[in-house]
Structure 1
Amino acid sequence: MMADSKLETIPTCAGQCDPDMKTESKEESQEKIRQLMDVPGWARIKPEFLLIDFKPEIDREFLTDSDKQQLKEESNKHDDKTDEPPKKKIKLRGRNKHRPQNTYSKSTGRICAEILAEKECRFGDKCKFIHDVKEYMASKPADIRDTCYVFSKFGKCAYGPACRFGTSHLDLNFKNIINMEIFDPGLKTVTNVLVKDLQVKLWKRKYDFGKANKILNEMGIKSKFTDFYEKNSSQDSKIASITSQKMLESDISEQVQVEKDEQESGISNYNISCGNVQPLVTVSTDESAKHVLSINNGSPDTDVNIEATVRDSCDKLQSHLSAVSSGKESKLSPSESKGDNVLNQRDISDTFIRLRPQEKKKISFSKKLYLAPLTTVGNLPFRRICKRLGADITCGEMAVGTNLLQGQASEWALLKRHASEDTFGVQICGGYPDTLTRCGQLIQDQLEVDFVDINCGCPIDLIFKRGEGSALMGRMNRLETIVQGMTSVLDVPLTIKMRTGIMAERNIAHTVIPRLRDQGVAMVTVHGRSREQRYTRLADWDYINECAHAGSPMPVFGNGDILSYEDANLRQAQTGVSGIMIARGALIKPWIFTEIKEQRHWDISSKERFELLQEFANNGLEHWGCDTQGVENTRRFLLEWLSFLHRYIPVGLLERVPQKINERPPYYKGRDDLETLMASPSCRDWIKISEMLLGPVPEGFSFLPKHKANAYK
Structure 2
Amino acid sequence: MPIHSSCCKKSHDLAKYLASKPADILKECPAYTAFGRCPQGVKCRAGSCHTLPDGKQLVNEELASKDIVTQTNFLSNDIRKALRAKKYDFSRSDEQRKLLDAKKNNYGGDDSGLNEMSAENKRFDPETRPVKKKPIDFIGKTYLAPLTTVGNMPFRRICKEYGVDITCSEMAMAGNILKGTNGEWALLRRHVSEDIFGVQICGNNFEQLVNTSELINNECNVDFIDLNVGCPIDSVYEKGCGSGMFKTPNKMYGIINAMNNVTDFPMTVKYRTGISIKQPIAIKVTQKLDEMGIQLGIVHGRSRQQRYSKLADWDYIKQVKESSKHMQIFGNGDVFSWEDYWEKMEETKVDGIMIGRGALIKPWIFEEIKERKVWDITSNERLELLKKFCNYGLEHWGSDDIGVNHTRRYLLEWQSFLCRYVPVGLLEVLPAKMNQRPPAYYGRNELETLMASTNVADWIKISEMMLGPTPDDFVFIPKHKSNSYEG
SS at match of 2:388: helix
Aligned equivalent of 1:178, options 54, 59, 64: 59
Aligned length: 464
In 2: Cα distance, 1:130 partner to 1:219 partner? 59
In 1: Cα distance, 2:187 partner to 2:308 partner? 25
SS at match of 1:365: coil
Q: CA deviation at 1:205?
A: 1.8
In structure 1, give the amino acid aligned to 2:293.
G
Q: TM-score, normalised by structure 1?
A: 0.63
Aligned equivalent of 1:217, options 98, 105, 116: 98
In structure 2, give the amino acid aligned to 1:490.
T
Question: Does residue 612 in structure 1 map to residue 385 in structure 2?
Answer: yes
In structure 2, give the amino acid aligned to 1:153.
A
Q: CA deviation at 1:124?
A: 4.4
Contact kept? 1:297, 1:520, Cα under 8 Å: no
Residues 485, 132 of structure 1: alpha-carbon distance in 2 compared, 3 angstrom cutoff: farther
**Percent identity of equivalent pairs:** 51
SS at match of 2:465: helix
Aligned to 2:293: 520
In 2: Cα distance, 1:206 partner to 1:392 partner? 38
Q: CA deviation at 1:651?
A: 0.6
The structure showing larger relative contact order (alpha-carbon pairs under 8 Å, at least 6 residues apart) is: 1
Question: Does residue 441 in structure 1 map to residue 204 in structure 2?
Answer: no
In 1: Cα distance, 2:354 partner to 2:3 partner? 50
Deviations 1:490-545 (Å, cap 9, x if unpaired)? 00001000011111222111111100111121110000111110111000000000
Q: CA deviation at 1:707?
A: 5.9
Aligned to 1:142: 23
SS at match of 1:503: coil
Aligned equivalent of 1:651, options 403, 424, 440: 424
In 1: Cα distance, 2:91 partner to 2:9 partner? 41
Aligned to 1:578: 351
Q: CA deviation at 1:708?
A: 6.8
Deviations 1:169-200 (Å, cap 9, x if unpaired)? 01121011001133245211000012222222
Question: Does residue 549 in structure 1 map to residue 322 in structure 2?
Answer: yes
SS at match of 1:428: strand
SS at match of 1:426: strand
In 2: Cα distance, 1:221 partner to 1:554 partner? 28
Matching of residues 206-285 of structure 1 within 5 Å: 206-220=87-101
Question: Does residue 693 in structure 1 map to residue 472 in structure 2?
Answer: no
SS at match of 2:414: helix
Q: TM-score, normalised by structure 2?
A: 0.91
Matching of residues 627-642 of structure 1 within 5 Å: 627-642=400-415
In 2: Cα distance, 1:127 partner to 1:213 partner? 48
In structure 2, give the amino acid aligned to 1:198.
I
Deviations 1:592-627 (Å, cap 9, x if unpaired)? 000000010111111111111011001000100000
Matching of residues 13-162 of structure 1 within 5 Å: 123-125=3-5, 126=7, 130-162=11-43
Matching of residues 237-386 of structure 1 within 5 Å: 297=124, 299=126, 356-358=130-132, 360-386=133-159
Aligned equivalent of 1:191, options 72, 80, 105: 72
In 2: Cα distance, 1:604 partner to 1:561 partner? 21
Question: Does residue 625 in structure 1 map to residue 395 in structure 2?
Answer: no
Gaps of 5+ in 1: 1-121, 223-295, 302-353
In structure 1, give the amino acid aligned to 2:373.
R
Deviations 1:406-463 (Å, cap 9, x if unpaired)? 1110000100000000000000101111211100110011000000000000011111
Structure showing greater Rg: 1
Q: CA deviation at 1:150?
A: 2.0
In structure 1, give the amino acid aligned to 2:304.
R
Residues 204, 221 of structure 1: alpha-carbon distance in 2 compared, 3 angstrom cutoff: farther
Contact kept? 2:276, 2:304, Cα under 8 Å: yes
Q: CA deviation at 1:704?
A: 1.1
SS at match of 2:61: coil
Residues 596, 411 of structure 1: alpha-carbon distance in 2 compared, 3 angstrom cutoff: same
Aligned to 2:115: none
Contact kept? 1:450, 1:493, Cα under 8 Å: yes
In 2: Cα distance, 1:298 partner to 1:591 partner? 46
Residues 710, 665 of structure 1: alpha-carbon distance in 2 compared, 3 angstrom cutoff: closer
Aligned to 2:162: 389
In 2: Cα distance, 1:616 partner to 1:672 partner? 22
